[in-house]
Amino acid sequence: MEDPAQWFKEAIDSGKYKKDIIVKMSSCISENRFDITNFMSWVSEQLEEDLDED
């Protein structure tokens, strides 16, 4: 069975996916879990960033 962290590493290199998302997802993968809380806080930051700029 392929190591999940390895799959994400290869997915970043493949260039197939939106870079900031795959990099963040990859950083949330540890040996046996995907840290959803960490990922969702990052999403919230992305939504708020420079919101008032036109």
> Nearest approach, Cβ of 9 to another protein (angstroms)?
12
DSSP state letter for 45: H
Q: Hey, which residues between 11 and 50 contact another protein (CB under 8 A)?
A: 11, 16-18, 21-22, 25, 29, 31-34, 36, 39-40, 43, 46-48
Distances (CA, A) of 52 to 20, 40, 42, 47, 49: 22, 21, 19, 11, 9
Task: List, in sequence order, the alpha helices (H) in the chain.
Answer: 4-14, 19-27, 36-48
Where do contacts with another protein occur on this chain (CB under 8 A)?
Answer: 1-2, 4, 7-8, 11, 16-18, 21-22, 25, 29, 31-34, 36, 39-40, 43, 46-48, 51-52, 54
